[in-house]
């Protein structure tokens, strides 16, 4: 009599691909040893914390790594094949984010945030705009274990898509459509998930594929030994593979099928619990730690007056300049040593928006006496216990006067958007003026902004 295990093995051979994973020859290091490759450029790079992934490797007895398509301070990202498909099923490809093992709590935070998002209302129109992991697992590396997050594959970050257009700028109708879509995603995150993304930038907005032929063609072109470039770290013997994140020419006929998705929730925050020392009121800012990329940091974050969901609205408002003008709205946020300069950033805000209201400065002063439970290291390497110390304040005197008037530039908001003219410029300025306000409570919500005439052609 044939045992159940034997039957199972026969069925595996008959129906599954898992025993026939594609063979990848070991590449010969082809990148000069002195050349800085991808994650090596990160200021805090340490090879021992990165998993030594390589093409052809199978993780979790299911996913065969094919080519590296992304990297960052905390992870590398690979395109992989699911080797456990039935023979009659089409091949399935996934994106695999392999997180560093330097801080297990940070890695778990990203997974937990995304699983929380995945449990929320599926019927919300913004749910499909938010990319979260499909599953997670762990692998063992030379030093401890690594969390791996599985995602649907997406084409490229928004900044790569922009490079395909004339002057590397999105045409206005396309930009408007993308802004509408992103606002729907933020509305879902804020209203349904109680999540502040805190890290909106072009790198974290990923585009879907315009048709199903792009990915198989890309994989075919990058599955040969000649396409796999790498170097070997002399200290750890870890191979560092070159990233390939360009999936080839667009099929312009189907451009309308490409939509942006909000990705990467490693720095996201949940605001559905009470803040320290008080009851959570509707619309009350509760975040107390530094957040956001330097250029997109909201004034309440810099001033330490407490932040909430509206910080994402400010962030997106500033990001629109990158989408329409391919430039930063705030140009002087770094000092001569390359460190974030909060006083120069505030000076630019004052130049464009006028001085901050006393209400905001009063909140900043009130929070100046609050100490974080644990210190946080700033760009200069100093360990700080509150936001004012972190950003180098105070920035205003007791009467609300800015202490660095010499840094305030002579600029106006309307002069920062030369690509728009006439009624279109006025509609745009009306739109962003509801996003870029000093007081967080005066910013419109994502849901309210979706109805603005600038986005709806009225």
- Per-residue pLDDT of 394-410, as tens digits, reads 999 999 999 999 999 99
Q: Which residues, 6 or more positions from 244, have their beta carbon under 8 angstroms from its beta carbon?
A: 67, 68, 69, 222, 227
How does the average pLDDT of the chain come out, rounded? 88
Q: Residue 48: pLDDT above 50?
A: yes
Q: CA-to-CA distance for 340 and 304, rounded, in angstroms? A: 15
Per-residue pLDDT, 23: 60
Give the helix/strand (H/E) hosting 67: strand 63-71
CA atoms within 13 A on the CB side of 98: 27
How far is the C-alpha of 123 from the C-alpha of 183, rounded, in Å?
16
Question: Residue 358's domain spans which residues?
Answer: 271-458
Asked whether residue 52 is domain-assigned, the answer is: no
Banded pLDDT at 276 (limits 50, 70, 90): very low
CA atoms within 13 A on the CB side of 175: 23
Helix (H) or strand (E) holding 363: helix 358-367
**Cα 209-214-218 angle, rounded to 5 deg:** 125
Domain presence at residue 296: yes
The per-residue pLDDT for 189 is 97
Per-residue pLDDT for 127 more than 50? yes
- Domains identified in the chain, total number: 1
DSSP for 196-229, written as a single string: E----SGGGEEEPPSSTTHHHHHHHHTSSGGG--
Residue 441 within any structural domain of the chain: yes
pLDDT one-digit tens code per residue, 163-180: 999 888 899 999 999 999
Domain contains 36: no
pLDDT number for residue 279: 37
Which tokens go with 300? 């309440």
pLDDT tens sequence across 168-222:
889 999 999 999 999 999 999 999 999 999 999 999 999 999 999 999 999 888 7
d(Cα 332, Cα 368) in Å, to the nearest integer? 25
Residue 47 CA to residue 327 CA, distance in Å, equals 33
Higher-confidence residue of 156 and 13: namely 156
| Residue 301 lies inside a defined structural domain of this protein | yes
The answer as to whether 129 is a domain residue is: no
CA distance 378 to 304: 14
Cα separation of 388 and 382, whole Å?
13
Q: Could you tell me which residue, 237 or 360, shows the higher pLDDT?
A: 360
163 located within any domain? no
In this structure, is residue 122 part of a structural domain? no
In CATH, what number is assigned to the domain containing residue 360? 1.10.510.10
Would the pTM count as exceeding 0.85? yes
């Amino acid at each position: 009599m044939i045992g159940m295990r034997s039957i199972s093995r026969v069925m595996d051979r008959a129906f599954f691909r898992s025993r026939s994973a594609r063979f990848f020859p070991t590449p010969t290091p082809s990148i000069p040893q002195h050349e800085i490759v991808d994650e090596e450029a990160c200021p805090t790079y340490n090879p021992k914390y990165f998993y030594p992934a390589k093409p052809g490797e199978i993780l979790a007895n299911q996913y065969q790594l094919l080519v590296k398509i992304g990297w960052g301070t905390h992870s590398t990202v690979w395109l992989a094949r699911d080797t456990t498909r039935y023979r009659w099923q089409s091949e399935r490809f996934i994106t695999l984010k392999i997180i560093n093992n330097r801080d297990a709590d940070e890695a778990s935070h990203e997974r937990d945030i995304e699983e929380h998002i995945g449990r929320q209302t599926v019927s919300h129109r913004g749910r499909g705009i938010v990319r979260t992991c499909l599953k997670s697992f762990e692998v063992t590396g030379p030093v401890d274990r690594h969390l791996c997050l599985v995602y649907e594959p997406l084409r490229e970050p928004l900044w790569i898509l922009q490079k395909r257009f004339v002057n590397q700028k999105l045409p206005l109708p396309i930009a408007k459509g993308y802004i509408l879509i992103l606002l729907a995603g933020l509305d879902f995150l804020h209203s349904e998930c109680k999540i502040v993304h805190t890290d909106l930038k072009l790198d974290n907005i990923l585009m879907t594929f315009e048709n199903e032929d792009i990915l198989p063609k890309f994989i075919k072109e990058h599955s040969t030994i000649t396409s796999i470039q790498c170097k070997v770290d002399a200290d750890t013997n870890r191979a560092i593979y070159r990233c390939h994140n360009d999936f080839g020419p667009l099929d312009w006929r189907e451009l309308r099928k490409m939509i942006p998705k909000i990705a990467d929730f490693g720095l996201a925050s949940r605001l559905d619990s009470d803040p320290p020392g008080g009851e959570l009121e509707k619309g009350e800012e509760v975040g107390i730690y530094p957040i956001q990329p330097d250029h997109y940091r909201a004034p309440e974050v810099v001033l330490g007056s407490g932040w909430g969901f509206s910080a994402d609205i400010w962030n997106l408002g500033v990001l629109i300049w990158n989408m329409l003008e391919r430039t930063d709205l705030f140009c002087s946020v770094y000092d001569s040593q390359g460190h974030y300069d909060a006083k120069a950033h505030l000076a630019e805000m004052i130049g464009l928006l006028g001085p901050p209201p006393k209400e905001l400065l009063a909140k900043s002063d009130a929070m100046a006496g609050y100490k974080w439970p644990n210190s946080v290291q700033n760009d200069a390497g100093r360990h700080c216990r509150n936001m004012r110390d972190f950003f180098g304040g105070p920035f205003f005197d007791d009467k609300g006067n800015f202490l660095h008037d010499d840094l305030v530039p002579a600029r106006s908001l309307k002069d920062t958007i030369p690509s728009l003219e006439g009624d279109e410029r006025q509609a745009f300025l009306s739109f962003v003026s509801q996003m870029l306000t000093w007081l967080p409570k005066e910013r419109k919500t994502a849901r309210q902004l979706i109805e603005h005439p600038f986005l709806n052609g009225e």
